[in-house]
Amino acid sequence: MENLTYVTGNYGKYVSVKEKFERHGINIEYATFDLNEPDINNIKVISKAKAKDAYDILGTPVFVADSGFYINGYPNNPGYPGAFVKRSGISTDVSKLLDVMKNEYDRSCYFLDCLTFYDGKEYYQFFGRCNGSLTYELKGQSRKRAWSNLWYVFVPNNCTKTLAEMTDDERRTRPDDRTNATDEFIKWYVHEYKNQRKRN
């Protein structure tokens, strides 16, 4: 098996991604450590900087994934918190978020993911988006696979349950319009990057 290293502080993300790669005969190693994060509300820039830092530490091809959460009707600041979802504290205290949003009619929001792969020579970035809406209360059971506490307040488009209420199968087969950065990366890595290296 080939080896790639996924640098993340979220073990739930690692488990989900590892299973996807193993179906293609690729083993994913897990690494976690603090990475410098530029103070800019742009996940493309943040993800690229973190991939560079991770490679400098490990000296092996790495990938990192960053998520932004954008709330269209956030009071006086549409699109907040964006890439600052962790630093804002919103993903930690979702009850406070619901309180801030309790009188807001526009509850549409979305996750935007950016996965950056760096092999020491080139950066490759892949994106995924999941549209949905905020609930008015926390819903769902505690799950090891939860990528974020926002799973308890986020209902994807064309669905009636929060991500935390869904079973693994329901999340995998849900009828929303999402795109997935990890899936795009795997498809590219298996069919293009590996062939490119063989030619070189």
Residue 130 has pLDDT above 90, yes or no: yes
Tokens of 55: 């490679």
Residue 199 has pLDDT above 60, yes or no: no
Average pLDDT over residues 54-58: 95
CATH number at residue 66: 3.90.950.10
Cis peptide, bond prior to residue 175, ω within 30 of zero: no
Residues 72 and 109 sit within 8 Å (Cβ to Cβ): yes
pTM of the model: 0.84
State the first-to-last Cα distance of the chain, in angstroms, to the nearest integer.
20
Number of separate domains in the chain: 1
Q: What is the pLDDT, as a whole number, of residue 1? A: 46
Give the separation between CA 119 and CA 74, rounded to whole angstroms: 38
Give pLDDT tens digits for 21-30.
998 888 899 9
Residue 12 has pLDDT above 70, yes or no: yes
Instruction: Report the chain's mean pLDDT, rounded to a whole number.
Output: 91
Give pLDDT tens digits for 71-126.
999 999 999 999 999 889 998 899 999 999 999 999 999 999 999 999 999 999 99
Q: What is the DSSP string of 156-199?
A: ETT-SS-TTTS-HHHHHH--S----HHHHHHHHIIIIIHHHHHH
Contacts of 78 (CB under 8 A, 6+ apart): 71, 72
**Domain that includes residue 34, residue range:** 2-199
Residue 162 has pLDDT above 50, yes or no: yes
